[in-house]
Structure 1
Amino acid sequence: MNQNILVILGHPNPNSYCAKLAETYYEAAKKTGLNVTLLKLRDLKFDYNLNFGYDKNKKQELEPDLILSQTLIQNATHLVFVYPSWWASMPAILKAWIDRVFLPGFAFSYQKHSPFPKQLLKGKTARIIITMDAPTWYYKWFNRSPGVQLLKHGTLEFCGIKPVKVTYFDKIRFRDSKTLNQWIKKTERLGSKGQ
């Protein structure tokens, strides 16, 4: 099966380091002949609120950009999320997109006699590329990786996507250009291999 990669940029700033990482991954994958799409969440138009929660009696229509998002996810074999850790979690735009897109009936379905969902996104893998100002050890051991836990275990694996690998780029605010460029190169290598 051919690999079909979807890169999701969850930083709202088009000039951010995350944007550079996402674009680097995309270009490297494209250059090696992989089928890859870059989805910049800041360009999508949708209501950030899941207004009725999961109330099946009140349907919130999906905007065209969210229908497109679901189609891209369905067609993807590998998802790459690129975003910063803000308050140990993720930017509102990424959380809102997850709330609106990873819905019952699309990403999972409840099972009446089981605490475990039917996973509707099996057969896909993912990578999380996360940047932060804190040191990785602090994020992992003191904060207990809440943003990564939420996305990796609480969302992706819950829906059947695995394995989910994580790449941490830490202390961004304090890094010199040499280190930042090394991380761009690392991301380029990941993209060229579709990892």
Structure 2
Amino acid sequence: MHALVVTAHPSPRSLVAELACVTRSALEESGYSVEASDLYAMGWDPAVRLEDYGDVADTGETVSARSKRAYETGTLAPEIVAEQDKVCRADLVVLLFPMWWHGMPAMLKGWFDRVFVNGFAFGLQDDAGLPRKYGDGGLVGRRVLAVITAGDRAESFEPRGLNGDLEELFFPFLHGTAWYAGMEPLRPHLVSGVDRPGWEDRADQEIQRLRDRIAGLDAEVRIPYRALADGDYGRDRKLRVEVLPGERGLRIHERRVGEREPGEQGPAEHCVDDHRLAS
């Protein structure tokens, strides 16, 4: 088994950097080979530029179309190809980053923007010409774990917490990026209260908790998001009326214990009409 550890923090002496070291050693103890992308140390440019696609002329094409053409013709920037190769080698991708303004740092978001291009992570079709996304896609077969540090207490990221439920805060990544591209997202790992009094007394405990989590990853199951191919969604991309009738919110996209098995809702309906980067 092989893992890619992606780190996004500007300070090499940060807690995130320390947790990255813990993660790498814990993975190796569990039998993984490990490689890393420390985005700040690499000087990673998070901004999508026309130069990424080998042709700076303004052709009027969308970013999605240009990136797909560059991917298919082998003209993507070398640093993008290098990161794609790392992702391809990985069975597990672990992301370590601080929560900044209720999201990931721009450096990490830009890694996804530049690396997860059309034709590589999305924009694929099956033999019938139907889109492969939400449970299928270019990165199917890989799992992903986000390790997130946050200043506030853990309770504030629970469903009734002031900051909002952690998994709903990161739904755009967990569901809209990882699951969309076919990766299997695990429940995010929150290291909380790092800016609160008493953190020094809890640091060792939190490091051990992360070690224990990494040691048990192989036995974990993914977040039970519904796959597009399951048949739970209609052509309008909404849950069929008979699935959790009357319920709303992001959690409806997770399959509940006791629900009918995939395919019992009816056949999946598709239309080839989507891109991750529209312009």
* Alignment TM-score, normalising by the size of structure 1: 0.85
Mean Cα deviation higher: 61-70 or 99-108: 61-70
1:92 aligns with 2:106: yes
Give the aligned partner of residue 23 of structure 1. 21
The 3 A distance-change label for structure 1 pair 144 and 188 is closer
Q: Per residue, is there more strand in 1 or in 2?
A: 1
Gaps (5+ residues) in structure 2?
Answer: 51-61, 219-279
Measured against aligned partners, the alpha-carbon deviations of 1:146-165 in whole angstroms (never above 9, x if no partner) come to 65222211111111111422
Give the share of equivalent positions with the same residue, in percent.
25
**Structure number with bigger Rg:** 2
2:16 aligned counterpart, secondary structure:
helix
1:138 aligns with 2:153: no
Whole-angstrom distance in 1 between the partners of 2:77 and 2:158: 36
Q: Which of 63, 68, 79 is the equivalent residue of 1:54?
A: 63
1:129 aligns with 2:147: yes
1:177 aligns with 2:200: yes
Whole-angstrom distance in 1 between the partners of 2:83 and 2:108: 12
CA RMSD of aligned residues (A): 2.6
Whole-angstrom distance in 2 between the partners of 1:170 and 1:183: 9
**Match for 1:119: what amino acid?**
G
Whole-angstrom distance in 1 between the partners of 2:169 and 2:81: 25
Give the aligned partner of residue 9 of structure 2. 11
**Match for 1:54: what amino acid?**
V
**Match for 1:173: what amino acid?**
D
1:89·1:147 contact (CA, 8 Å) conserved in 2? yes
1:173 aligned counterpart, secondary structure:
coil
Q: Which of 45, 64, 81 is the equivalent residue of 2:78?
A: 64
C-alpha displacement at 1:114, in angstroms? 5.6
Whole-angstrom distance in 2 between the partners of 1:68 and 1:34: 20
Whole-angstrom distance in 1 between the partners of 2:10 and 2:18: 12
Whole-angstrom distance in 2 between the partners of 1:140 and 1:159: 27
Gaps (5+ residues) in structure 1?
Answer: none
1:7·1:26 contact (CA, 8 Å) conserved in 2? yes
C-alpha displacement at 1:57, in angstroms? 4.3
Measured against aligned partners, the alpha-carbon deviations of 1:36-76 in whole angstroms (never above 9, x if no partner) come to 11221112244422236634247676433322111010110
C-alpha displacement at 1:166, in angstroms? 1.2
Give the aligned partner of residue 156 of structure 1. 178
**Match for 2:146: what amino acid?**
I
Q: Which of 138, 144, 151 is the equivalent residue of 1:120?
A: 138
Give the aligned partner of residue 228 of structure 2. none
Moved over 4 A (4+): 57-61, 110-116, 192-195
Whole-angstrom distance in 2 between the partners of 1:33 and 1:57: 39
**Match for 1:18: what amino acid?**
V
1:7 aligned counterpart, secondary structure:
strand
The 3 A distance-change label for structure 1 pair 46 and 131 is closer
C-alpha displacement at 1:85, in angstroms? 0.5
**Match for 2:65: what amino acid?**
K
Give the aligned partner of residue 222 of structure 2. none
The 3 A distance-change label for structure 1 pair 105 and 27 is same
Give the aligned partner of residue 35 of structure 1. 33
The 3 A distance-change label for structure 1 pair 181 and 68 is same
Q: Per residue, is there more helix in 1 or in 2?
A: 1
Mean Cα deviation higher: 53-62 or 124-133: 53-62
